[in-house]
Amino acid sequence: MSNEEPEKGALRSILDVVATIAVAIVAALLLRTFVIGVYVVPTGSMLGTIQEGDMLVGEKVTLHWDAPHVGDVVTFDSPLEPGTVLIKRVVATAGQTIDLRDGVLYVDGQARAEAYTEGKPTESLSGLQGSAGIQYPYTVPAGCVFCMGDNRTNSLDSRYFGPVSVDAVSSKGLFIYWPLTDARTL
């Protein structure tokens, strides 16, 4: 038996390990780019549903053929702070008319029962009233969704920066995975 045979076996084992690691890295990058997103909730704007610091998984696949629906928790880049990902709930879609009256959200003339919210949607963040120039009642334009945080009195959302293009939505929230004590679907 020559010394070359064990060396070839060891080299082959090392190459197998390197190839396996490379495939795993490529697969993980493809998953993160096209299939799922992992997000840390940066603020308390979704309190009542999601806590500040929670970690959630969002799926990206269905957005290629199906726009977000009312009630979906979605992620998108902040129109006011590029590079910052926001997590909000879709409250109206293209063609729907929203109104904020007496602390109640109305969609197409019907009061929306939202047991998951905290605060009234007509209470504004100080210093930001009307910064999007939206007049109510407001009809959501084609290709857009209107998003609001569940913590209505502490959420920088479509009331302030306007509707969100469906093309800007990066994922639909699936579940919270951290902390484990709060793990659940959205």
Q: Tell me: the pLDDT tens digits for 46-62? A: 888 889 999 999 999 99
Instruction: Say if CB 167 and CB 66 are below 8 A apart.
Output: no
Given a cut of 60, is residue 128 above it in pLDDT?
Answer: no
Please give the positions annotated as active site: 45, 88
- The predicted pLDDT at position 129 comes to 52
As a whole number, the mean pLDDT across the chain is 85
Confidence of residue 124 (pLDDT cuts 50, 70, 90): low
Domains recognised in the chain with CATH numbers? 37-185 (2.10.109.10)
Q: What is the mean pLDDT of residues 9-26?
A: 87
